[in-house]
Structure formats: C-alpha cells, structure tokens
Amino acid sequence: MGYVPHPTEIEYKSASRALRIVFSDDHEAVYPTRYLRGFCPCARCQGHTSGPHKFIEHQAPQAEVVDVRQVGNYAINIVFADGHDTGIYSFQRLREICPCPACMPQGLSDEYR
C-alpha cells in the first residue's frame, strides 16, 4: 500500500452534524455524521462479509458524535451518541468515502445526509 494521507485536523460541528477532517495533503472533507454512522465499518454493523459496505439507517440524534479517538497511526474511532463505538475508520477508508465535490462529483445522496 502506498502513502495514505493522515488527518491533521478533526473537528465535529454539532450545528451541522458533520465531522470536518483536514488531511496531511491539505485535502478537506466534511462528512455528515449520519453518513459515517450509516456506513460504520464494524462487524456488528456490516457483518463478517467482504462485500461492499451497506448503509444502515439510524435516527439523526443517534448519529451525533460524542468523541473521536485516534487508533494507532492508521485510523480513528468515532463514538456516537447512541453509545456505538466499535467502528474503526481507517484513513484510507475515509478518503475512499470522502463526499466532497472533487471525490464524489455526483454529490452525496440526501439519503445519507
């Protein structure tokens, strides 16, 4: 695996329910927390399969972020208001699902906002 940019800034914006991440290559991503919670990569949410991740519906208040913790040098763990805290979001995965216009030209579906 090649170089994967790492976060240099992580900020939760409660008013917009979004997690803002600036990466070491100056790329800025703003992830709606419902999007992150819905695509949580943990086995409890996604099962023990290797297929594409599926979106799991959650109510908006449950998608609020309570804490963000660094996991080693490769990922973050997000703690949600519903107590869910088992998802480990690798920096590579965060870049793959970045919803910014440059990474996702078609835009993020309202279903994930």
| 87 token code pair | 């998802």
* Domain extents in the chain: 7-51+60-105
Structure confidence at residue 112 as a pLDDT band (50, 70, 90)? confident
pLDDT above 70: percentage of residues in the chain: 95
Per residue in 88-107, pLDDT tens? 999 999 999 999 999 999 98
Per residue in 54-63, pLDDT tens? 888 876 566 8
CATH 3.30.450.190 fits 7-51+60-105, yes or no: no
Residue 102, class by beta-carbon neighbours within 10 Å (0-12 exposed, 13-18 middle, 19+ buried)?
Answer: exposed
pLDDT above 90: percentage of residues in the chain: 66
